Amino acid sequence: MPEAQRRPGRFDIELPIDIKMDLSTHAAVTKNIGTGGVFVATEHLAKVGERVALNLTVPGWPGPIAADGEVRWIRKTASPEHSERPAGMGVQFVGLTMGASLVIQEFLQTCEAGERTHGLPKSP
C-alpha cells in the first residue's frame, strides 16, 4: 500500500496468527498490524464486541506472542472490486502485556526502517 494510503503506525504484512473464539481455534494470517491491533484475514468471524485470544508469530521472536483482543469490525466477504481486501476482522489489542507490546513495537520499528531503506518491510 502506498505511504499516503497507509494509516500511520500500521504496516501491511502477512504473519501467521491463531485466533481462539468460543471453544475453537483457527489458523489465519494478518494483513496489517499496528501497536493498537491487527487485521485478521479469515472466513471464521467473531461478532463485533466479542473478545478473542490471539497467538501471533513475529519473525525473529522465539515463540508466538499471546494477546487478548476485541473485535471492532468485520468484513464478511472479499470485495469483488478490491480483491486485495479479504474477508476478516479488525481486532483491537486489549490488556496487552508490556513484553508483548515491546515485541510488537520493536517489530514495527524494524518494518519502518526496512521500508525507508528498501521500500519493503523486512524481518528483524
- For every one of its 124 residues, what pLDDT tens digit does the chain have, with 9 covering 90 and above? 333 344 557 888 999 999 999 889 999 999 999 999 999 999 999 999 999 999 999 988 888 999 999 999 999 876 666 666 789 999 999 988 999 999 999 998 888 777 654 444 444 4
Q: Does domain 10-112 have CATH number 2.40.10.220?
A: yes
What span, in angstroms and rounded, lies between the C-alpha atoms of 39 and 45?
12
Q: Compute the C-alpha angle 67/79/19, nearest 5°.
A: 20
Positive or negative torsion for Cα 73, 21, 31, 117: positive
Residue 88 · residue 40 · CB < 8 Å: yes
Q: Report the run of H or E that residue 113 belongs to, with start and end.
A: helix 98-118
Domain limits, the chain: 10-112
Q: Report whether 107 contacts 124 (CB < 8 A).
A: yes
Residue 84 is predicted with a pLDDT of: 67
**Distance of alpha carbon 110 from the chain centroid:** 16
List phi, psi (to 5°) of 99.
-60, -45
